[in-house]
Structure 1
């Protein structure tokens, strides 16, 4: 397939050599025209890790770094995004009190910040439950998210947040209080009206209109690379294929492609996305 004259970046993708297709998914992404990916930590339990302290997330993070290296060996530039999935709160509280679970999650996020500070990762991941929970769990989850924003501000990195559907407008004030520029807070699985930096799944019906408006956003697959859920959320080829369709139809110009896949992620994450 003919290569693009611009990079193609999947802003939120998981690759799992043990529980998923691993290198084959990476090769599919590359063959379809993908060049860069923000490689996001999978939830600890999906990797067989069951934390009892924040330090236990080190195993999860080190697995992600190893996968990033495997991606590079297969021709794709992978930038690790390390963090603690907000659904960890529900898993951990099966084994411990709520406050203890929150403390472990905060410690895990602080550890992720250390990896970023050491140059091993480029951003952290946090959020709050995207499903109904008790008010107490919601408040504690927001406290964990506030800690993530503070870690990111102290480290000078971006945060991807996994949370409920909708604009999540209240996170703006949380980021401002933490001292983190709102532009560096990325809403994963976003809706267009979020005041955060939106990352839209590569089939979202609003993408053509946002391109026409010159809006800054990124694209993602949220591919889970889980053999028990093949293709969820959409497959590893989806971002490059959707980009090709938009580009060849004239909806997406080369300038727009560079803005979506190169300039915006470079600016948000403080990285260099360019073609060799």
Structure 2
């Protein structure tokens, strides 16, 4: 494996040694030229956790931290991102009231915030369903998201948001009301039209134009690491591969690579990205 000339950071990836390829996927990322990942906790049900209280999410977070250690052993620098997937509300309301479900999700976020405060994670994750839901579920989801923003303010950390496609301009308003800078609210699977910080799928066609305009953005694979869905959303090699493809075609420079994968990441998450 050649020594990388610049950092390559995947802003949103899942690694799952139980349901997916696990550390082998992280090794693929490393061999392709990747250096840093933001490891995002998976939904509770994918780890066979069925929470009845916020404290039950600790099992999900502890597993994420354990996997982070396994990834770090490969030489990849890993930053855990912990939170409650917004689709949890649809599962929880199958066995409890909507009010109770929202309470469990807020409790899970409280639990995640403690990991951030203890230095075990660098950011939180929340959002709202990206699929059609009833007005009641949407309102409750926005209430949970507002709670996540309040925690991000308290923890002085970034928040990754999983939500519907499009700009999500109202979330920017929610962030400002919570006192959180919009450039620290990351729109996972984002698009350039968002007033939040866009984390773009590695092959997004807008990347060269954003580089030319100097618009801050980051790149992600959203790799799910599930054997039942191999390669979804894109593979673990995608961020380094597309970064190098853009570099080799002259659409970006090494200076651009440092800005995308180190400088911008540092500004959003408050971490220092250095070559390992």
Give the TM-score taking structure 1 as reference length. 0.99
Residue 85 of structure 1: CA displacement?
0.1
State how far apart, in whole Å, the 2-side matches of 1:217 and 1:230 are.
26
Residue 239 of structure 1: CA displacement?
0.3
Aligned to 2:11: 11
Query: Are residues 1:51 and 2:51 paired?
Result: yes
Residue 200 of structure 1: CA displacement?
0.2
Classify the secondary structure of the residue corresponding to 2:85: coil
State how far apart, in whole Å, the 2-side matches of 1:210 and 1:172 are.
20
Aligned to 2:182: 182
Deviation string, structure 1 residues 8-48 (Cα, Å, up to 9, x no partner): 00000000001000010000000000000000000000010
Aligned to 2:109: 109
Aligned to 1:158: 158
Residue 214 of structure 1: CA displacement?
1.3
Aligned to 1:254: 254
Aligned to 2:123: 123
Map residues 215-230 of structure 1 onto 2, 5 A cutoff.
Answer: 215-230=215-230
Residue 135 of structure 1: CA displacement?
0.4
Aligned to 1:20: 20
Map residues 54-69 of structure 1 onto 2, 5 A cutoff.
Answer: 54-69=54-69
Deviation string, structure 1 residues 223-275 (Cα, Å, up to 9, x no partner): 00000000000000000000010011111111110111001111110111111
State how far apart, in whole Å, the 1-side matches of 2:128 and 2:98 are.
14
Aligned to 1:70: 70
Map residues 236-247 of structure 1 onto 2, 5 A cutoff.
Answer: 236-247=236-247
Aligned length: 276
Q: Tell me, which stretches of 5 or more residues in structure 1 are unaligned? A: none
State how far apart, in whole Å, the 1-side matches of 2:176 and 2:23 are.
39
- Root mean square deviation, CA, Å: 0.7
Aligned to 2:80: 80
Classify the secondary structure of the residue corresponding to 2:149: helix
Deviation string, structure 1 residues 53-111 (Cα, Å, up to 9, x no partner): 00000000000000110000011011000000000000100110000000000000011
Aligned to 2:36: 36
Aligned to 2:207: 207
State how far apart, in whole Å, the 2-side matches of 1:110 and 1:175 are.
18
Deviation string, structure 1 residues 144-169 (Cα, Å, up to 9, x no partner): 00000000000110000000000001
Residue 4 of structure 1: CA displacement?
2.9
State how far apart, in whole Å, the 2-side matches of 1:244 and 1:165 are.
27
State how far apart, in whole Å, the 2-side matches of 1:73 and 1:220 are.
21
Task: Write out the 4+ residue segments of structure 1 that deviate beyond 6 Å after TM superposition.
Answer: none
Query: Are residues 1:274 and 2:250 paired?
Result: no
Q: Tell me, which stretches of 5 or more residues in structure 2 are unaligned? A: none
State how far apart, in whole Å, the 2-side matches of 1:97 and 1:238 are.
40
